[in-house]
């Protein structure tokens, strides 16, 4: 291949033919069947020249803010030689110190010029103008990366970087590919060495070895507060709320949430046991739980979905819905009374409605409604409202949240509390651990059936009624969540 006056020629066996390579052409370099073309401010173009007279465009790489001038080959790799220009306001240029006049009897050897004094704000502006445009990086742990630039390049603790990922777009009419950049996350430098820096990555972001960083002003970080939507991430979580019954008889229990969720490109799938209410008292046991399979649409700022499964309660669901207490029986010396107490667990088909307003790792409100298919002994079957849970999460730091939560329903549970949570390990990307604690109150309840048989005046009588069984009191909860990578 030959370059003359900006035109590329193929020369084979003495035959010379100009090639249809798009202008401008500053320099060329051939390696095997690939022709690399430097196009100045328009970056690099790569052609397949298996057929020297019919080149095929393979890829194009734009270099924003730089001019490609030539190529070099080292250790089998093709290197791009690029230059860039920096614009600096005139007022920021250093000025030489004014020199005083000298007398004839003083040595005329010029004295060193005094170093200019530049305030901190000007230094920051100068470093921002000459900011690093492409810095290699290496993920070292969930939420942290090591940058291949340090104090020698002017990197300081508190500097901010934009982490980007190259992405190609195919399907153009000519069959070529265009390369662009995808924003991955922002990172803030927390420690520096002469040649490297350690930076903390924003929430949720997952950084790859092939990503790179570009230094940006902090104002750009503040303008993008919404964490990125990272697909192909799974999470398992468990929240425990132990209960101690207030009042008599003695009793205790547990109100818990258990879930496993997978977030895809634009959808989510999950399994949840919420609530998982259990209680034990002298009057009887308490069960109030629902197990559901859920799925729906997932976006960066909201999600909606539906679920189906089953719910179980301990006792007479009709009684729990109506909050009815039967009348007490009576007894006298001429009566023989027999009291029978029974308790059964009843199941029902359940549907759930789930929604989240806001990013899953930023400010958001999440809701879940439960509907139960109830088939009473007398009357028509139909769906009834079972309960609602809600949680409001407010970020107050890089890794810390405050939240308020509550819920309850006629299927026999309730809770309310406020708490705090933090990513103990990582930033919400795969490999991260989240711990939460809260305080409040909670309860679970069911019912038992009491049948009283008595003999009065030689005649046998019987009546049956339902009585509430509950475990309610203050609670302190603890939750743990783990994020993992499925693909």
| Cα–Cα nearest to 211, from 155, 297, 277, 146 | 146
In a domain, 400, yes or no: yes
Do residues 303 and 322 both lie within one domain?
yes
Tokens of residue 178, six digits: 């265009």
In a domain, 95, yes or no: no
Do residues 247 and 350 both lie within one domain?
yes
Digit-coded pLDDT (tens) for 408-427? 988 889 999 999 999 999 99
In a domain, 228, yes or no: no
> What is the 8-class DSSP label of residue 249?
S
Q: How much is the pLDDT for 324?
A: 34
Instruction: List 56's β-bridge partners, or say none.
Output: 48
CB atoms within 10 A of CB 169: 10
Query: Mean pLDDT across the stretch 106-121?
Result: 42
Instruction: Please state the pTM of the whole predicted model.
Output: 0.64
For the cut 70, the answer to whether the pLDDT of residue 380 exceeds it is: no
Do residues 190 and 247 both lie within one domain?
no
Question: How many domains in the chain?
Answer: 3
- What range does the domain containing 167 cover? 128-222
Do residues 296 and 395 both lie within one domain?
yes
Q: Which of 178, 202, 222 is the last residue of a domain?
A: 222
**Mean of all residue pLDDT scores within the chain:** 80
Do residues 180 and 261 both lie within one domain?
no
Q: How much is the pLDDT for 255?
A: 94
In a domain, 103, yes or no: no
Work out the widest C-alpha separation in the chain, in whole angstroms.
143
Burial of 90 (0-12, 13-18, 19+ CB in 10 A): exposed
Query: Mean pLDDT across the stretch 159-187?
Result: 75
User: Who has greater pLDDT, 422 or 78?
Assistant: 422
CATH number at residue 241: 2.40.160.40
Do residues 299 and 412 both lie within one domain?
yes
Q: How much is the pLDDT for 379?
A: 62
**Chain-centre distance for alpha carbon 336:** 67
Do residues 34 and 138 both lie within one domain?
no
Query: Mean pLDDT across the stretch 238-253?
Result: 91
In a domain, 165, yes or no: yes
* Least trusted range by pLDDT, from 23-32, 284-293, 318-327: 318-327
Tokens of residue 12, six digits: 């084979």
Element (H or E) spanning 28, and its range?
strand 27-31
Do residues 259 and 374 both lie within one domain?
yes
User: Who has greater pLDDT, 224 or 320?
Assistant: 224
Do residues 253 and 215 both lie within one domain?
no
Q: Which of 178, 193, 222 is the last residue of a domain?
A: 222
Q: How far apart are CA 315 and CA 326, in angstroms?
A: 14
Do residues 218 and 301 both lie within one domain?
no
Do residues 248 and 182 both lie within one domain?
no
> What is the 8-class DSSP label of residue 322?
H
Query: Mean pLDDT across the stretch 9-26?
Result: 83
In a domain, 435, yes or no: yes
Q: How far apart are CA 113 and CA 471, in angstroms?
A: 83
Do residues 369 and 286 both lie within one domain?
yes
């Amino acid at each position: 291949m030959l370059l003359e006056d900006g035109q590329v020629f193929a020369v084979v066996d003495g035959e010379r033919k100009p090639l249809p390579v798009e202008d401008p052409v500053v320099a060329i370099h051939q390696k095997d069947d690939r022709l690399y073309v430097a196009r100045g401010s328009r970056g690099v173009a790569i052609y397949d020249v298996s057929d020297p007279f019919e080149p095929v465009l393979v890829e194009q790489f734009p270099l924003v803010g730089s001019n490609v001038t030539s190529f070099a080959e080292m250790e089998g790799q093709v290197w791009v030689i690029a230059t860039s220009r920096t614009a600096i306001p005139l007022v920021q240029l250093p000025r030489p110190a004014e020199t005083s006049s000298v007398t004839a009897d003083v040595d005329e050897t010029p004295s060193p010029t005094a170093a200019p004094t530049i305030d901190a704000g000007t230094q920051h502006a100068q470093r921002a103008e000459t900011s690093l445009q492409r810095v290699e990086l290496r993920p070292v742990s969930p939420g942290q990366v090591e940058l291949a630039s340090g104090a020698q390049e002017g990197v300081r603790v508190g500097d901010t970087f934009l982490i980007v990922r190259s992405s190609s777009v195919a399907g153009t009419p000519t069959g070529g590919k265009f390369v662009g950049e995808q924003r991955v996350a922002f990172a803030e430098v927390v420690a520096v060495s002469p040649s490297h820096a350690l930076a903390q990555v924003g929430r949720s972001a997952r950084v790859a070895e092939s990503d790179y960083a570009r230094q940006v002003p902090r104002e750009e970080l503040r303008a993008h507060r919404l964490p990125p939507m990272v697909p192909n991430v799974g999470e398992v979580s468990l929240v425990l709320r132990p209960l101690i019954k207030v009042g008599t008889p003695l009793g205790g229990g547990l109100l818990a949430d258990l879930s496993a969720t997978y977030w895809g490109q634009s959808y989510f799938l999950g399994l949840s046991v919420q609530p998982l209410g259990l209680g034990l008292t002298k009057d009887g046991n308490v069960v109030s739980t629902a197990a559901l399979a859920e799925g729906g649409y997932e976006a960066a700022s909201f999600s909606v979905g539906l679920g189906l499964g089953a719910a179980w309660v301990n006792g007479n669901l009709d009684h729990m819905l109506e909050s009815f207490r039967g009348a007490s029986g009576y007894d006298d010396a001429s009566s023989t009374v027999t009291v029978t107490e029974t308790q059964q667990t009843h199941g029902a088909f359940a549907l759930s409605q789930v929604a989240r307003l806001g990013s899953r790792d930023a400010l958001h409100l999440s809701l879940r409604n439960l509907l139960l298919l109830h088939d009473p002994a007398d009357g028509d079957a139909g769906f009834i409202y079972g309960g609602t849970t809600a949680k409001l999460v407010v970020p107050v730091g890089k890794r810390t949240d405050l939240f308020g939560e509550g819920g309850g329903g006629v299927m026999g549970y309730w809770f309310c509390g406020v708490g705090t949570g933090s990513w103990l390990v990582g930033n919400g990307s795969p490999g991260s651990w989240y711990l939460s604690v809260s305080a409040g109150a909670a309860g679970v309840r069911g019912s038992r059936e009491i049948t009283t048989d008595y003999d009065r005046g030689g005649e046998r009588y019987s009546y049956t009624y339902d009585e509430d069984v509950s475990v309610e009191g203050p609670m302190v909860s603890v939750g743990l969540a783990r994020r993992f990578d499925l693909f």
